[in-house]
Amino acid sequence: MEKKRILIAGAAGFLGSHLCDRFIKEGYHVIGMDNLLTGNLKNIEHLFPLPDFEYYHHDVTKFVHVPGKLDYILHFASPASPIDYLKMPIQTLKVGSLGTHNLLGLAKEKKARILVASTSEVYGDPNVHPQPEEYWGNVNPVGPRGVYDEAKRFLESITMAYHNFHGVETRIIRIFNTYGPRMRLNDGRALPAFMSQALTGQDITVFGDGSQTRSFCYVGDLVEGIYRLLLSDYHLPVNIGNPEEITLLQFAEEIIKLTGTDQKITFHPLPKDDPKQRKPDITKARNLLGWEPKVNREEGLKVTYEYFKQALNK
């Protein structure tokens, strides 16, 4: 049987690289694409010798051409942490709009199924808790986070337009906080920030009073959810994340305990429009995909801690 061919945009990033691994393991021919704006080739260099992996250095905001047939496309190209999208606001908007448009055009041309990576950030600073897919969100379009939030909201809109108008087979995943090996140390999000601060002997920085909540999903669980959604027949958005909620103050204390360090926790002003609560309603994922997270936080953090320790020593 001829192998299925899948294009993974954002292949050298944290999530993209784990997706490359998964689809290689499942017997696909994987075409990885990345412009390395925030990705790192080290995440996928172990795949380069494989006959079923090829890499294109390309920016999806420019016209995308891939020779031969394509069965599936995964759009995971985008800066994804506040540090990145505040530093690269226009690139973030372009990859969510032009990049999505180009990849949807490619999916239409190749008659491929495309899954696009949206985010819990489409819910903004939510007034509904936990957040079900039917909630329309509370987003400030002109605030500093608007460049990411609105790029992803547009991504969902144009994806639905291609589905409804052109009949393209589309899937939309809304990803909640995810962690695991290959996260960047300077990513700026809570987990890598807390871990690198603890490992380098700095005080742990908590914004606000630390009462804001997050829900952390291990990357292996997320990849399983993405795989199931891609192969499902459901085209509307699906939340994938871990519904176990924790305050950032509790989380900082967990990291200090895990790393065995004795850092102090220091408090800094809350950034503008920072969400106060974040917890996915995963009823749809459970019912439609038979999916729920399996890796508990204690177990996942241990693996991630080992990765960060090694990364800091390199």
The span from the CA of 249 to the CA of 112, in Å, is 44
The region that residue 83 occupies, defined by phi over 0 for left and psi between -120 and 50 for alpha, beta otherwise, is alpha
**Token pair 């809304």 in the structure block, residue:** 174
Mention every residue, 6+ apart, whose C-beta is less than 8 A from residue 168: 104, 107, 108, 114, 162
Side-chain half-sphere exposure of 274, counting CA atoms within 13 A: 20
What are the helix and strand counts (H, E) for the chain?
10, 13
Question: 78 with 96: CB under 8 angstroms?
Answer: yes
Terminal alpha carbon distance of the chain = 42
Instruction: Say which DSSP state 280 is in.
Output: B
305 is catalytic: no
The span from the CA of 168 to the CA of 297, in Å, is 37
DSSP code string of 63-127? -----S--SEEEE--S--SHHHHHHSHHHHHHIIIIIHHHHHHHHHHHT-EEEEEEEGGGGBS-S
Catalytic residue among 148, 179, 218, 227: 148
40, two tokens: 């790192």
The span from the CA of 5 to the CA of 11, in Å, is 14
- Positions marked active-site: 148
